[in-house]
Amino acid sequence: MIEVPLQQSDTVLLPERIGELTGLDQFGMAGELLAAFLAAFVVGNLMLAMTGVAGPWAKRKITAAFTDRIAVNRLGPAGLLIIVADSVRLLSKEIIIPENADRPAYDLAPIVVASSALLGFAVIPMGSGIHLADPEVGLAFVFAVAGIASIGLVMAGYASANKYSMLGGLRAVAQNVAYEIPLVITGMSVVIFAGSLRMSEIVAVQQETLVALGPVAIPAWFAIVNPFAFVLFLLANFAEVGRNPFDTPEAPTEIIAGYQTEYSSVYFVLIYLGEFLHIFLGGAIIATIFLGGPDGPGPESIGIVWFLVKIWGVFLLTQWLRSAVPRVRIDQLIEIGWKGLLVLAFANLILTAVIVGLIA
């Protein structure tokens, strides 16, 4: 049997480490597979736990802080046990399925939405050795799987047999198409800098020191090297995850809840989970390609902490915008995407290419 290495970098990935620790690596393919499953289980659950905290609790607390309220404070310290109560509540609700729903599509949509986001975390280096896979096409893979969510949204919008869902689904597609291109093109400018699509290399390049101001060394994070691209990417990302000012596909006051109007109980939880995972995945991509990934002061072993801080920072920003910024209209949204962001993204790409070409 020929060994096909999944990756060629020198970093030790989580499946390998688990394999070594548990001795599973002695069992060949089967052992490797089992170790990979275990690693995926760990990472997946980490992310799910984060959304579990974010959805029922953190989001409420953050929004409340912005809007002069208190939010959950009755169950447990600072209302933290609401997470348990909400889980029980949401899972024990009745599933109401519309009569004319297009069944397989209607049932699959929430799963597609949630799983596509989860898949993206596979290639994200989270520091402290938590990194599932490091393929050569890492960045492209993340964009690709995140894009699958659009299919889920269309399925949800179409299969619900509800006009509001339909409008929401159409808006979601229009928005994702319009913003995915600037998103990917802005991401490409980072690839020009790093010279690789491999996530671990993108992170490694950013750990070099850009300028040293006395004792303070400013790292070469791409957000610092190219703040313009950072802002572009951040904007496109908000549209991609459908958050204010670009939350038009849901737009509760206009089209009720868009594509998720007809989803209840577990399906509703799945769709919501998917949305939060997407926000976190967006945060993870931003952290990885612009904020140096797990890079931060202190020993390398606490990398995961810095990584989580960065993800939550992006999450906080989405909640802030949600509380304070009006939603743009659908036609304005498309206009901003095609006429503004796309042009700027290309300008950024060309400029970056020229600059990198001149320097290197």
Partner 1 sequence: MSTGLEKQTPGEVTEDELEALIGDRALRRDDHLNAPGFVIRPDDVQDVLFDLRDEAGFDHLSCLTAQQYEDRYESIYHLKKYDDPTQEVSVVVPTSTTEPVSQTAEPVFRTADWHEREAFDLVGIDYEGHPDPRRILLPETWQGHPLSLDYDQEKPQIVTLSEHANPIQPDHHDEESDTMFLNVGPHHPATHGVLHVKTVLDGETVVDVDPDIGYLHRCEEQMCQQGTYRHQIMPYPDRWDYVSAGLLNEWAYARAAEDLADIEVPEYAQIIRTMGAELCRIASHMLALGTFCLDVYGDFTAVFQYAFRDREVVQDILEDLTGQRLMFNYFRLGGVAWDLPEPREEFLEKTRDFLDELPAKIDEYNDMVTSNEIFQVRCTDTGILEPEVAKSYGCTGPVARASGVDYDLRRDDPYGYYENLEWDVVTRDGCDNYARVLCRMQEVEESAKIIEQCLDLLEEWPEDERNIQANVPRTLKPDADTEVYRAVEGAKGELGIYIRSDGTDKPGRFKIRSPCYHNLSTLGVMTEGEYIPDLIASLGSLDIVLGEVDR
* Contact footprint for partner 1 (CB under 8 A): 63, 66-69, 163-164, 167, 244-245, 247-248, 251-256, 322-332
Q: Residue 315 and residue 47: Cα distance in Å, rounded? A: 13
Q: Residue 104 and residue 102: Cα distance in Å, rounded? A: 6
Cα–Cα distances (Å) from 121 to 104, 154, 224, in that order, read 27, 23, 24
In the bound complex, what is the minimum distance in angstroms from residue 333's beta carbon to partner 1? 10
Q: Residue 155 and residue 107: Cα distance in Å, rounded? A: 9
Which pair of structure tokens corresponds to residue 137?
Answer: 């096409």
Residue placing its CB nearer to partner 1 in the complex, 45 or 332 = 332
Residue placing its CB nearer to partner 1 in the complex, 131 or 322 = 322
In the bound complex, what is the minimum distance in angstroms from residue 256's beta carbon to partner 1? 7
Residue placing its CB nearer to partner 1 in the complex, 201 or 247 = 247
In the bound complex, what is the minimum distance in angstroms from residue 324's beta carbon to partner 1? 5
Residue placing its CB nearer to partner 1 in the complex, 120 or 245 = 245
Residue placing its CB nearer to partner 1 in the complex, 268 or 290 = 268
Cα–Cα distances (Å) from 88 to 79, 81, 134, 251, in that order, read 15, 11, 37, 27
In the bound complex, what is the minimum distance in angstroms from residue 267's beta carbon to partner 1? 20
Compute how many other C-beta atoms are within 10 angstroms of the C-beta atom of residue 155: 23
Which pair of structure tokens corresponds to residue 38?
Answer: 């275990």
In the bound complex, what is the minimum distance in angstroms from residue 242's beta carbon to partner 1? 11
Residue placing its CB nearer to partner 1 in the complex, 76 or 98 = 98
In the bound complex, what is the minimum distance in angstroms from residue 332's beta carbon to partner 1? 6
* Residue type, position 146, single letter: A
Q: Residue 143 and residue 87: Cα distance in Å, rounded? A: 30
First to last CA, the chain: 42
| Coil, helix or strand at residue 213 | strand
